[in-house]
Structure 1
Amino acid sequence: MYQSHVFLEVRILVANGEKAFCSCYVGSKAGTCSVCRRDAGSFPKANATAIRRAYTLSHALDCTLAETAEYQRPKGSPSLPEQYSLSGASVKIATDGYMDIEFHRRKKRIYIEEIRIEEDAGRLTHNNGETRMDYSHAGAPNIRIRTGANFELGEEAEIFLTELRRRIQYTGILKGTPPESVIRCNAYVALARYPETPAYSVKLRNLNSFNFVRKAINAELYRQEEILTSGQTIVSESRLWNERQDRTEFFQSREPASGLQIYPMDGAPAFKCPQSLLAELRASATEHPSERQARLVETWGITRARAGFICDEKARADFFENTIACGADAMETAHWLMSDVTGALRKAGMTIQESPLSPKRFAAILFLYHNKTINSKIAKQLIQAVIETDKDPEVCMKENSWTLISDPEELGQLVKKAVQDNPAETERIRQGDMAPLEFLTGIIMKKTRGMADPATVKELLKAELKVSLVYVLSMGGSISGRMADGEVSAGDDKILKTMVSPELADIHITFESITAERLLSEEIQPADWAALIHAIAQKVASGTANGIVITHGTDTLSYTAPLIYWLFADTPVPIVFTASNTPPAQLGPNDPPDEARLNLNRAIRLANEKEKGIYVVFGEKILSPINLKFLRPTLYGFTNWNTGEPLFAGAGLLSGYGDTDRYVMAQVLSEAADRMHLCRIYPGIRADRLLALLDHGVDRFILELYEKGTGNMKESPYSLKSLLIQGRKKGCKFYCTSQQEGIVDFTGYSTSRRMWREGAIPMGSLTTETVAALYFAASLVCDSDEELDQIIESNGTV
């Protein structure tokens, strides 16, 4: 077994005109002052702006701040061209800091060994295959951060640098300058057999993007593993990252010791940090971006993905919390901020600080939308108008006549008249035919010149007519099937109609088969899911449904139920699944109801009683659609794994219900199915067979492992090692669940840790079926693979 030893040396350019240790300006003629010439008796004096910025960042990294320190000079530092001159000074201003990171649910503390103020001595640039030195900032102040050798993977280094960028931005030390444009990094990489400590390291020089840092570290670890595996010796050297060839390349030899040797500058007065700055920093409390993200998730219940987006910029996070402070709903604020506000700002070429859309104005728009004074279309137009005109929402609404009529008293009179004037249509509705509801709604919309809220109108019409409508959507299965010659065959909604109890006569029930073909649940395909999703979306968007029941087979219910949950978890209409082990029987007048009838009627009753949520009714249980497991074909054959309080509602991924296209969704789901493979591992599984799938477009795997996430990682044909390594190089993702009831977190076993190191993603408490459903749901709503993977991983728990 091998152990990674990786640390980073990060330099942040602080370009404010003057050099780091004298009053000369960057780019001025060489040798113009005694400090630059290194004259005897001339000593450096640290740049005041650099001091404040470096100490502020050190405080944000929880470092111990130095009150005094000696000026030092590295031995053997590189020489510069004649037109440039540097003092060569360096001063260590902080030690013993740390940053907590998390990658694939494994938390780790990265230690900060030291932070220095130094001079920029030039940087390597790579262009058209040539490597050159850029001295345009030579002498400018640099903040140099050296970490402990705590990284195991390139991904961890990338996460560290991303969080460092956020902390720089939160501190405001580089206002107007994107932090990523002034950060450059060297990575020191060594791989050794555990538990040996390597006496060598390879320096990866001048990595100028976080993405390159991740790729270069991982590529170098693979290169060193091949060297060690073949029995050869790793030598200390400097290497460069070749992005085109996806590998590191030799640059020059170097001594095994990591970094330069630094010595005190004889006679130089000690550096002293202003006491006022130290007192100011020690008195200030800093909430780190990652801490703020966790707080938003905990306090407001938004997803990790949304909280991460919000907290990526301090101004955006401030805007979010200030909007909530103005009375807006947190979930709605997060949704609109992440989508429409960001899009409108991008279109206007503005940042959120520059925008006329203040938190107060944004909260006012959300309040109008929440109270149905405006609909979503008008809300989007209103956001755009406020940004473009710098006028209050109320003014924009008045100027454009955008106010909806949603007052029940005002609309009530129109509803009563529409009912009185159309007796034939109202009688059809009372008999359970909902088609005339659209007709009556249209009459009222015409009377109000399109400014009535359609959803409110339909609710008032149903209330006036005392109509409660439950849709029963048939997805086949035994519950609507037939028994002949000892075999179950698929049925349809006509059978379901005969099963409704007389006790439910006061509920208007409409039956509908989702697919033209009769199905058993094992025959369901992606297009059938698309038809179901479209039907649910249309029923909800129409405003006619008080509840929806979905009858389904038992075999694949554990996939369909969570799929609908992930998409519709926040829908205002309750959705209830039910199933049966056996088809409905032919009953005599005094026979008790069978399993199929009991489950169907319980589901209809629940759908009529609840206001929202996704439920599964089976036997006497009401189960969550999340982590639903079918254990055995008995009355109590379904259960929930890994759940405390059952989860029935949340934040659904699907929006714009009225805009869904069944055939487009069928195509998207089919393409998603083509690129995903679900595999239950077992002794004797061959990685080469799975690797062959990569040549057929598969790049997303769901691996059902053992216990907390273990599997064979030896050098063997029956090991997952080659699959993970080769798949990771080709951009594959491996989402990992367990064959047993438990949490996959890759703890407790060396094989688990190795799987994590090779990029396997633990899906926490989610079952295999629920993860598969999440993958398909995310595929429907995501515009990129990056967004897809972020949604899947951020929802990887219950």
Structure 2
Amino acid sequence: MLKSYIALEVRILLLTGVKTFCNCTYLDNGMLGSCPICRGEGTLPPQLNQIAARKAYTIAKALNCNLVKNPRYEKNLSTPDLPPEYALSRLSLQLGTDGFMDITFHRRKKHIRIAELRIEEDAGRLTHSGKETRMDYSTAGMPSLRLRTEADFEIGEEAEVFLSDLRRRLQYLEVIPGVPVESVIRCNAHVALAPYPEDPEGFVKLRNLNSFNFVRKAINTELNRQEEILEHGGTVLPESRIWNETKNITESFQKRKLENRPKFVPLQGVQPFIPGPDILEALESFTVELPEPRRNRVMAQYGLTLPQAEFICDEKSRADYFEKTIELGASPKETAQWMSSYIIKEFKRLQLTPLNAPLTPHRFASILKMLTERRIHTGIAKQTISAVLEENKEPELIVKERGWEQLTDEKVISDIVKRIIEENPLEVKRVRESDARPIRFLTGRIMRETGGLAEPNIVKAILREQLSVSLVYVLSMGGAISGRIAEDGMVESGDERVLKELIHQRMNGLESKIRFESIQVGRILSEEIIPSDWAALITTITERINSGTANGIVVTHGTDTLPYTAPLLYWLFADAGVPIVLAASSTAPGMSNEAAETMEKAINLAAEEKTGVYVVYGGRVLSPLNLKFERIGSDGFRNWNMQKPIHFGSSLLNGMLEADQYVLTQLLEEAANSMCVIRIYPGLRSDYLTALMDQGVRYFFLELYDTGTAGFREGPYSLKRAFSIGRRKQARFYCTSQQEGLVDFSGYSTSKELWKEGAVPMGVYTTETVVARFLAASIIADSEQERDELMERAGPESLQ
């Protein structure tokens, strides 16, 4: 087995406007000046740029480095030769050693050791354009930190995560103001493969990788190149290579020799650098809250989910903006939802940031306050945000000028509702005779009476109160629970007439409190469901929730695909504020009392609960997550990996879903056409998976053994080749277990191989729940990247 060894050499450019070891600054011609120090003449001692020194020590502290006491100036013998007009002293100072940074990739934490941190002069950078590679010397001589890690990385994705975390940490330290941090980070990667447990004889250096994405791609491509050479009996030569993004390959740039000569030679006759009291005092009082501690605090203090906290804390300015808005009285969850959805899109559209946007925290909090007080609704809130960003006006003024404020005086609305009820006795009589349809007619009359300004939810609440009714919608998706027994004894798909009769039989005195509206969404057996059926169901549920008339929703469903539909509704509506109950039966109404009893329990649950998604089957209330059908009969379903059923939490949505059935159908069909569920078995050929990739499948849901194992022995049955090709085709592999348990890729060497090749462990979730999350993410996400992020953040490690 081959083991990969990857180390990073990261350059961080400190933009101080002054050279590193002298006081030379930029001249009028745009070039940095020169003096005896930076020309290396040795007539004057070096003087470390104090601004750069403070920044460098701050970074060293944040990277958990041991600070070098009174570091000595050294000559860096590996500094390249520059044109004579660019003067470099070639000096180097080792400021920190033995640091570390912990990263998390695919739910596995890893300790990355930082060998050393040095401050040096920038020597320019390689730029690539088409077939040409050139040197850019515009920053030559500027202070540059060189961070060198140990060879602790194994794949390119880990390196990308490390660089992203480093970028975030530098941003929080505020040591590089005025420019995007990622623009001043450059990286070399040192890559080697060796038979386990041998150490590599030498490394291939990948030079000047100018983006985090390039780092990942270049490393993985180079690992594949070296593996192919070694597997064919060849030798990997030590050399420098560069990344060709157009061809998606690494190309030879320069041969390297394995030499033991020192890279650094102490500068004789020069006193060591002694940090001044201002630097030492700053280090002693170092109190910057770094991204990970802040993320943990934000979750604990404000009750945010991990995905919300990760989004909020990804940028310091964003986290500051969030907390300032909260200080001004806004709800933390509402603020997080708006920031991660509408506001971030508007900022991107207008190329704004939290630092320069006209929508200040004060203005944002003002809009959320008006929304909470129901003076405006969600649509008006969006229009107000856009108007503030484009016109730089106060939200209150915009709402007043445009007449956008809603009527929220409950006494005024109550008087109007009372009058409309008195003017429409026939519609009221129909409602009190269990016909729910006139409620929407009455609501429309009230809204017209107020010029559309009455707050809809207040109108509906008062109307229901004055009519003394609650409304439970019953949506039929077919299944045996509303099926009929044909003459040949076979169960036929759901029939709305059967469902209405079933409801009528089991009302048990609820008629005076609850009105039902039965809606035929689909007349199908469960196994016949296709994406368009889900689109119709989601659209209908969304319409009923958005209308504000629903106290609860019951969905009748068959058993075969219930483990997919139930979590799909959970991922979309877990916190919608209206309880959704899926009801299923193992027998048709004419065969036993099971269907009638299930409907009665489901209706009562929908009327009593406030929010969440529930499954009623066989007299029990189950969670929609990890629902597994284990046997035929009333005890056929069970929740895997769950002691106490989970019914509500955070959905993937930020705000309400804007559902269009045609669009939803397209999104769900595209998602279904791009995915495949594969159950691993002895003898599964890897070329079966690659053939699916050739047909456009990019998302694989693999049911593995145990905690995440599969065959990786060389040959046609090894998954290794499929994963290698999948990486090149940007395929994703989401892994669940065939057994009840946790997939965390622990305990076995094949698990480690799967993880290294890019498999994503889905923890405690079953295949059906993960597929449902993928479908929900496909509806919500605006890009493949966002969908991938939603899948990676698939929730807790435990559902206990």
Query: What is the TM-score of this pair, normalised by structure 2?
Result: 0.95
- Amino acid of the structure 1 residue aligned with 2:529: I
Counterpart-to-counterpart distance in 2, 1:408 and 1:172? 50
Task: Spell out, residue by residue over 1:349-385, the C-alpha distance to the aligned partner (whole angstroms, 9 max, x if none).
Answer: 4321223433233222212212322101111122233
Counterpart for residue 430 of structure 2: 428
In the other structure, the counterpart of 2:24 is 24
Q: Within 5 A, what are the aligned runs for 1:231-270? A: 231-256=233-258, 261-270=263-272
Deviation at 1:585, TM superposition (A): 2.0
**8 Å contact from structure 1 (residues 30, 36) kept in 2:** no
Displacement of 1:595: 1.1
Q: Indicate the SS of the match to 1:96.
A: strand
Answer yes or no: is 1:681 the counterpart of 2:690: no
Q: What are the residue-to-residue correspondences of 1:529-544 with 2, within 5 Å?
A: 529-544=534-549
Shift of 1:255: 2.3
Question: In structure 1, what is the Cα distance between the partners aligned to 2:611 and 2:78?
Answer: 71
Equivalent position of 2:465 in the other structure: 463
What's the secondary structure of 1:584's corresponding residue?
A: coil
> 1:183, 1:790 → 2: CA distance?
24
Q: Which residue of 2 aligns with 1:725?
A: 724
The Cα of 1:636 is off from its aligned counterpart by: 1.7
Q: Compared with structure 1, are the counterparts of its residues 237 and 259 closer, same or farther at alpha carbon in structure 2 (3 Å cutoff)?
A: farther
CA distance in 2, matches of 1:198, 1:656: 52
Residue 579 (structure 1) aligned to one of 562, 584, 598: 584
Task: For residues 486-525 of structure 1, give each alpha carbon's deviation from its aligned partner in whole angstroms, at most 9, with x where no partner exists.
Answer: 432223121122223141333222222212xx31111111
8 A Cα contact 2:337 2:655, kept in partner: no
Supply the AA of the counterpart residue of 1:498: E
User: What is the CA deviation profile of residues 319-354 of structure 1, one whole-angstrom value per residue up to 9, with x for unaligned ones?
Assistant: 112222333222211111122222333444432122
Task: Output the CA distance in 2 between the equivalents of 1:712 and 1:555.
Answer: 30
Question: Does 756-765 or 310-319 show the bigger shift?
Answer: 310-319
Is the 1:679–1:702 Cα contact (8 Å) retained in structure 2?
Answer: yes
Percent identical residues: 52
Match of 1:296 in 2: 298
Counterpart-to-counterpart distance in 1, 2:129 and 2:261 = 26
Q: How does 1:173-572 map to 2 (within 5 A)?
A: 173-256=175-258, 261-484=263-486, 485-500=488-503, 501-503=506-508, 504-506=510-512, 507-515=514-522, 518-572=523-577
> d(CA) in 2 for partners of 1:780 and 1:75?
56
Is the Cα–Cα contact under 8 Å of residues 303 and 794 in structure 1 kept in the other structure?
no
Q: Quick one: which amino acid aligns to residue 634 of structure 1?
A: G
Equivalent residue letter for 2:18: E
> 1:155 and 1:623 mapped to 2: Cα distance?
38
- The alpha carbon displacement at 1:21 in A equals 0.7
Q: Is the 8 A contact 1:434 1:544 kept in 2?
A: no
CA distance in structure 2 between the aligned counterparts of 1:481 and 1:357, rounded to whole angstroms: 55
Task: Give the secondary-structure state (helix, strand or coil) at the position aligned to 1:37.
Answer: coil
Q: Does 2:85 correspond to 1:78?
A: no
Distance 2:688 2:238 in 1: 38
Per-residue deviation, 1:26: 4.8
Question: Equivalents in 1 of 2:531, 2:81: separation in Å?
Answer: 65
Aligned residue type for 2:4: S
Could you tell me whether the CA contact under 8 Å between 1:411 and 1:457 is conserved in 2?
Answer: yes
Q: Which residue number corresponds to residue 630 of structure 1?
A: 629
- Is the 8 Å Cα contact of residues 317 and 354 (structure 2) preserved in structure 1? yes
Deviates more, 1:455-464 or 1:484-493: 484-493
How has the CA–CA distance of structure 1 residues 731 and 796 changed in structure 2, closer, same or farther, with 3 Å as cutoff? farther
Tell me: CA distance 1:654–1:25, structure 2 relative to 1, closer, same or farther (3 Å).
Answer: closer
Deviations 1:11-39 (A, max 9, x none): 11123222111122256889952213323
Matched to 1:595, the amino acid is: E
Cα distance in 2, alignment partners of residues 137 and 242 from structure 1: 24
* Secondary structure of the corresponding residue to residue 698 of structure 1: coil
Residues in 2 aligned to 1:77 and 1:659: alpha-carbon distance in whole angstroms: 58
- 2: CA distance between counterparts of 1:149 and 1:620? 57
For the residue of structure 1 that corresponds to 2:398, the secondary structure is helix
Q: Which moved more, 1:446-455 or 1:27-36?
A: 27-36
Q: Report the residue type matching 1:623 in the other structure.
A: L
- Counterparts of 1:367 and 1:249 in 2: how far apart (Å)? 58
The residue aligned with 2:666 is 667
Q: Does 1:713 align with 2:712?
A: yes
Please say if residues 30 and 83 of structure 1, whose CA atoms lie closer than 8 Å, have aligned partners that are also in contact. Answer: no
CA contact (8 A) 2:19 2:121 kept: yes
Change (3 A) 1:237 1:386: same
Partner AA of 1:404 in structure 2: Q
Deviations 1:694-739 (A, max 9, x none): 1111000100111111100111212211111111111000010111
Cα displacement (A) at 1:659: 4.1
The structural deviation recorded for 1:617 is: 1.0
Cα distance in 2 for partners of 1:537, 1:31 equals 66
Bigger drift between 293-302 and 104-113 goes to 293-302
**Are positions 1:695 and 2:694 aligned together?**
yes
Alignment-mate amino acid for residue 420 of structure 2: A
- Structure-2 separation of matches of 1:659 and 1:217: 41
- Residue 590 of structure 1 corresponds to none
**Contact preservation (8 Å) 1:549, 1:577:** yes
- Residue 606 of structure 1 aligns to a residue whose secondary structure is helix
Provide the C-alpha distance between the structure 1 equivalents of 2:380 and 2:511, rounded to a whole number of angstroms. 40
With over 3 angstroms needed to count, the CA separation of the structure-2 counterparts of 1:663 and 1:36, relative to structure 1, is closer
Report the 3-state secondary structure (helix = DSSP H, G, I; strand = E; otherwise coil) of the residue aligned with 2:38.
helix
Q: Deviations over 1:290-331 (max 9, x none)?
A: 332343344434343332222121011011122223332222
- SS of the counterpart of 1:280? helix
- Change in Cα spacing, 1:327 to 1:686, as seen in structure 2 (3 Å) is same
Q: What is the aligned partner in structure 2 of residue 787 from structure 1? A: 786
* Residue in 2 that maps onto 1:149: 151
Structure 2 SS opposite 1:378: helix
CA RMSD of aligned residues (A): 2.0
How big is each residue's C-alpha offset from its partner over 1:255-308, in whole Å with a ceiling of 9 and x where there is no partner?
235996111001111111113312222222232213323433444343433322
Partner of 2:610: 611
Greater displacement, 365-374 / 44-53: 365-374
What are the Cα deviations for residues 92-141 of structure 1, in whole angstroms up to 9, with x where unaligned? 11112111111111110111111111011222111221112222221111
Paired residue type of 1:768: T
Instruction: Give the secondary structure class of the aligned counterpart of 1:92.
Output: strand
Structure 2 distance, partners of 1:368, 1:67, is: 57
Which residue pairs with 2:737 in the alignment?
738
Alpha-carbon contact 1:13-1:120 (below 8 Å) kept: yes
Which shows bigger deviation, 760-769 or 248-257? Answer: 248-257
8 Å contact kept, 2:475–2:556: yes
Alignment partners' CA distance in 2, 1:15 and 1:542 = 55
Secondary structure in 2 matching 1:272 = coil
5+ residue gaps, structure 2? none
Provide the C-alpha distance between the structure 1 equivalents of 2:689 and 2:437, rounded to a whole number of angstroms: 51
CA contact under 8 A between 1:77 and 1:260: conserved in structure 2?
A: no
Query: Counterpart amino acid of 1:481?
Result: G
Asked if the contact 1:31/1:37 (under 8 Å) is kept, the reply is no
User: Alpha-carbon deviations, 1:49-76, whole Å to 9, x = none?
Assistant: 1101111111221222234100001225
Partners in 2 of 1:111 and 1:665 — Cα distance? Answer: 47
In the aligned structure 1, how far is the partner of 2:236 from the partner of 2:159?
22
640-649 or 544-553, larger mean C-alpha shift: 640-649
